Chain A
């Protein structure tokens, strides 16, 4: 299998505060990797390294075989989907403009193109087409989150990075979104790296789960492997066994 993302021996710090300590990780194409860990464990930093929002102090990051260091970061990011908690929609743009944001960064889209693309993406995340003309503040939490995912996928990226994307929605909506995401991945074969703090969500979604603690990958494996052989008390308490 080809490597979608490769993190080689990377460290990161905010000032004096070291948040990642010599982490290495390879994500194969088509994998669904879920990262879980207590707050402050460095999971968001690790994710942001994958699209160059955080540049490691040491070590190298490669995306689709290309080193991040020295490459055109903006152009690279346009080929990677990015969705965050609370969706981070642009409040001054309609849903349609939000969805068409990334393709619009490359070239100016006509109204017609925008409409077609927005409708296609809204259908993919199971929202009615008329939502496209609304502004984000007129949407419910779950709808916003769906639009956030539609925006992340609009430029047809082959990697999707998600930082607690379902953290701010209610349980029932979250279940629905999880199933849709799994179906989407089955359909498109996209590589997903997903952060959560919900172990149930991690085991349900991930083909591989990484447990992080204090800036290190503490244990990783398939959900069954982790459940069968937790490394220590920390992992055991995290997965509730």
Chain B
């Protein structure tokens, strides 16, 4: 009850936070998505780079998120920019790994048939390899989006906006309801995004005759 009360009473504040959160997450999703897919494609074609890239990304992933934010402050200062960078770095792991796994695990027999029929490298990548890897890539993308939205809550500890601001303010003022409301909105945003993406996933799979 208290929760709904506070959400209603301070709806302008929460709306601002929510829009901020969406803006920061979306920026990070676009950055991590583009960078991650490109990296995944690149390392799927250069096996040596794959081990190194996946290793580095794995190590970065083990750094606690709060300290990653701390490390970035001397370089990029506080605020939204640093938050977007940190979220992008974290978001890379699932998307790079899934893009790579998806592309590498396409049935070698199918690829050889395409080559034997006269497809060149580009035609195989975009016409066969990529579409067949799409389900795996999308599931990595969904992972990434949920993670970025959830992690976005921490961003306000370094002065960025978003629903983390509500949580942070709730903690510092012993206002449990405020903290809970902020958390609830983050969870709902993450669930809603995941649901929307699952719809997109189904549509894509139908398009390719898989689902």
Contacts and interface: CB of A to CB of B under 8 A. Distances in A.
Interface of A: 48, 51, 53, 74-80, 82, 84, 86, 88, 90-94, 101-102, 105, 135-137, 151-152, 161
Interface residues of B, number: 18
A91 to B, nearest CB: 7
Interface in B91-135: 109-110, 112-120, 123, 128, 131-132
Contacts of A152: 117
Contact of B114 (A48, A90, A91, A137): A90
B117 A92 contact: no
B209 A105 contact: no
A151 B118 contact: no
Contacts of B4: none
Given A53-B112, A90-B110, A92-B131, A77 B209 contact: no
A53 B116 contact: yes
Interface of B: 109-110, 112-120, 123, 128, 131-132, 208-210
A105 B116 contact: no
A151 B113 CA distance: 11
Given A75-B118, A77-B118, A78-B118, A92 B113 contact: no
Most buried by A among B110, B113, B120, B209: B113
B116 A51 contact: yes
Nearest to A136: B209
13 contacts: A51-B116, A74-B118, A75-B118, A78-B118, A84-B109, A88-B109, A88-B112, A92-B131, A92-B132, A92-B209, A102-B117, A105-B119, A161-B116
Contact of A84 (B113, B118, B123): B113
B78 to A, nearest CB: 46
